[in-house]
Amino acid sequence: MAFRHAGVRSPMGPFLLSSLVVLAAVIALGTCGSGTPPAPGEADQTALVDADLTQLVVDFKDGTTKALFDALEVGWGIDLEFNSVEGVRSGITLARVEPSRLEALLRLVRADPNVEAAEPLFSYWASFTPNDPQFGRQWNLEMARMREAWDLTRGAGVIVAVIDTGIAYEDHGEFRLVPDLKGAKFAPGYDFVNDDEHANDDHGHGTHVAGTIAQRTHNGEGVAGVAFEATLMPLKVLDANGTGSSADIADAIRWAADHGAKVLNLSLGGGGRSEVLEAAVDYARKKGAVVVCAAGNGGRGVVEYPAAYPGAVAVSAVAPDGKLASYSSWGKEVDLAAPGGDIRRSGKQEDGILQNTIVREEPARSVYAYFQGTSMATPHVAGVAALLFGAGASGPDEVEKALFEGADRSKTGAWNDKYGHGILDAKGALEALGAPGAKRPFWKKLLTLLWALLLWAIARVTLPRSARRALRPGAGFFGALALTTLGLFFLPWLGVHSGFDSPLPHWGNALFGGAKANPIFYSAIIPILLCMVGFRRAGLRGLLAGLTVGFAAVLLAGALAGTSVAWMPLGALSRPWLVVNGLVSLLLARALMSQAGAR
Burial of 572 (0-12, 13-18, 19+ CB in 10 A): exposed
- Whether 588 and 15 have beta carbons less than 8 Å apart is answered as yes
- Whether 220 and 381 have beta carbons less than 8 Å apart is answered as no
According to the 3-state scheme, what is the secondary structure of 221-265?
A: CCCCCCCCCCEEEEEECCCCCCEEEHHHHHHHHHHHHHCCCCEEE
Of 439, 434, 424, 427, the closest CA to residue 392 belongs to 434
Q: Is-cis flag, bond preceding 436, omega within 30?
A: no
Q: Determine the distance from the C-alpha atom of residue 329 to the mean position of all C-alpha atoms in its chain, rounded to a whole number.
A: 30
Residues whose CB is less than 8 angstroms from the CB of residue 171 and which lie 6 or more positions away in sequence, other chains included: 177
- Count the helices and strands in the chain (H runs, E runs): 20, 17
Q: Provide the 8-state DSSP code for 95.
A: E
Residues 323-335: b if buried by 16+ CB within 10 A, e if exposed: bbbebbbbbebbb
Distance CA 241, CA 263 (A): 25
According to the 3-state scheme, what is the secondary structure of 115-177?
A: EEEEEEEEEECCCCCCCCCCHHHCHHHHHCCHHHHHCCCCCCCCEEEEEECCCCCCCECCECC
Residues forming the active site: 164, 205, 375
Distance CA 82, CA 564 (A): 41
Strands 49-60 and 115-124: antiparallel
